[in-house]
Chain A
């Protein structure tokens, strides 16, 4: 192994340890933490790691502080961003059950996120509850919303307004979700693929 390769192999290992094992209350590592541990070339280390993870259907996900993802992020923007390892592809409904989610709860999360998104990033909790009530039993609605808040998908302020929180930004491709939902009508005419 060349010196250069060995140099990056060691750093990639360290990056794996930092990204896979939770270091704080919430998962994810800040850019400045990676810089301190891996050196200033940590973006390069992460791109090598991302290449390795491709084969495992995983990816290194960067979530920037601002909602918009910059095309050519500066080092400063990267330092303030948070890095996660997420699934690169998709889970099947069966697999989703295996990771601890009931179909109802996950569908409720999908509805909640898309509704908040369509309202410009915040929506009154009451409206979301009314929407969920159409397809979920009333006693589960409040519990589910509280659970989404606990997991970090949603945040709620003092005025009972719901917002999208850190986990939604890290895990959900919001553009893709909106596009899929708006195209759902045509898809719904095709046979249901749920197993």
Chain B
């Protein structure tokens, strides 16, 4: 088993090296013939039966793909060499070094035929531009200020703000405190050991109301009005109110407790309650 694992490791490394070599040739325009295609194909063939995992097969495919690009570069290279535009770069560098700047310039001027173009305004375009200018309305007219809408200022009532959803029916803290009070009463009447089942407190007649109560309870806990007691093995969650809000609660490292309040959970709670 060990030699096979080792073989796979070596194979991966070799494929990575092949990919890097081909990349170098492509990106840094190295001589594509530095890559020995036959040798690489042999390596790829040798390790191919060992590949089982998809990532190894992907690596194998990438190596083949890179090799194909190098073969294309080799083809281009041969094609270029066979054209009249080919000159040995080292020979050309030598020529460039030995030739003077002025000599090079003279040679270039014999092969250079610069583009001719005119930058000139014509009478026709001038008269057209004048016609356009004459027809153009002044900026003041084009960018006329829109009259600002007039509003009549009048006092508004709290009920109007609530109906426009700007204010909730109760102020948030007010609602939070009344829920806290309700929690304490519920624990006193129905609770055991100063706590009450989470669902027994949060659950309401409608699902929407239940969701809203769950949302508010999350703030009760976060702001230190109450705490949660989670019993994972019993799959039960209890909520326990504090007599006074704990100020330090926010400074401590807080722990998030995700509680699913889905419609199914709510229906299950209602069924259990009625039975």
Residue numbers of A with Cβ under 8 A of B are: 20-22, 27-28, 58-59, 61, 84-93, 96, 99, 103-104, 106-107, 109-111, 113-115, 117-124, 131, 134-135, 159, 161, 167, 170-182, 184-185, 187-188, 192-194
Interchain CB contact under 8 A, A84 and B115: yes
In the complex, B257 has a CB within 8 A of chain A = no
Interchain CB contact under 8 A, B29 and A119: yes
Instruction: Kindly list chain A residues whose C-beta atoms are within 8 Å of the C-beta of B119.
Output: 22
Q: A115-B89, A124-B29 are in contact. Are A61 and B113 (CB under 8 A)?
A: yes
Instruction: Kindly list chain B residues whose C-beta atoms are within 8 Å of the C-beta of A89.
Output: 113
Interchain CB contact under 8 A, B95 and A175: no
What separation, in Å, do the CA atoms of A136 and B225 have in the docked complex? 79
Interchain CB contact under 8 A, B29 and A181: no
Q: A180-B110, A180-B111, A184-B103 are in contact. Are A117 and B85 (CB under 8 A)?
A: yes
Interchain CB contact under 8 A, B117 and A22: yes
The residue in chain A whose Cβ has the minimal distance to the Cβ of B104 is A107
CB distance from A130 to the nearest CB of B (A): 10
Count contacts between A and B, CB distance < 8 Å. 161
CB distance from A117 to the nearest CB of B (A): 6
Residue numbers of B with Cβ under 8 A of A are: 27-29, 76-77, 80, 84-89, 91-93, 95-120
Which of B27, B80, B88, B98 interacts with A121 by CB under 8 Å? Answer: B80
CB distance from B39 to the nearest CB of A (A): 24
What separation, in Å, do the CA atoms of A21 and B116 have in the docked complex? 9
CB distance from B160 to the nearest CB of A (A): 59
With A84-B115, A86-B114 already in contact, 11 other A-B pairs whose C-beta atoms are closer than 8 Å: A87-B116, A93-B102, A114-B96, A115-B89, A115-B96, A120-B29, A120-B76, A135-B101, A167-B115, A177-B111, A184-B104
What separation, in Å, do the CA atoms of A174 and B96 have in the docked complex? 16
CB distance from A72 to the nearest CB of B (A): 20
The residue in chain A whose Cβ has the minimal distance to the Cβ of B26 is A159
Interchain CB contact under 8 A, B102 and A88: no
Interchain CB contact under 8 A, B92 and A114: yes
What separation, in Å, do the CA atoms of A180 and B103 have in the docked complex? 11
Interchain CB contact under 8 A, A177 and B93: no
Q: A110-B104, A194-B102 are in contact. Are A171 and B117 (CB under 8 A)?
A: no
Interchain CB contact under 8 A, B85 and A175: yes
Closest 5 CB pairs of A and B: A110-B108, A177-B111, A194-B102, A86-B113, A176-B111
What separation, in Å, do the CA atoms of A188 and B97 have in the docked complex? 12
What separation, in Å, do the CA atoms of A118 and B96 have in the docked complex? 12
Instruction: Kindly list chain B residues whose C-beta atoms are within 8 Å of the C-beta of A171.
Output: 112-115
Q: Could you write out 7 A-B pairs with CB less than 8 Å apart?
A: A93-B106, A106-B105, A118-B89, A135-B101, A170-B115, A177-B111, A194-B102
What separation, in Å, do the CA atoms of A143 and B234 have in the docked complex? 76
What separation, in Å, do the CA atoms of A171 and B114 have in the docked complex? 5
Instruction: Kindly list chain B residues whose C-beta atoms are within 8 Å of the C-beta of A123.
Output: 29
Interchain CB contact under 8 A, B118 and A20: yes
Interchain CB contact under 8 A, A90 and B112: yes
What separation, in Å, do the CA atoms of A194 and B104 have in the docked complex? 11
What separation, in Å, do the CA atoms of A92 and B102 have in the docked complex? 12
What separation, in Å, do the CA atoms of A85 and B98 have in the docked complex? 35
Which of B77, B84, B104, B113 interacts with A120 by CB under 8 Å? Answer: B77
Interchain CB contact under 8 A, A96 and B95: no
The residue in chain A whose Cβ has the minimal distance to the Cβ of B105 is A107
What separation, in Å, do the CA atoms of A88 and B116 have in the docked complex? 10
CB distance from B81 to the nearest CB of A (A): 8
What separation, in Å, do the CA atoms of A158 and B64 have in the docked complex? 24
Instruction: Kindly list chain A residues whose C-beta atoms are within 8 Å of the C-beta of B98.
Output: 185, 188
What separation, in Å, do the CA atoms of A174 and B84 have in the docked complex? 10
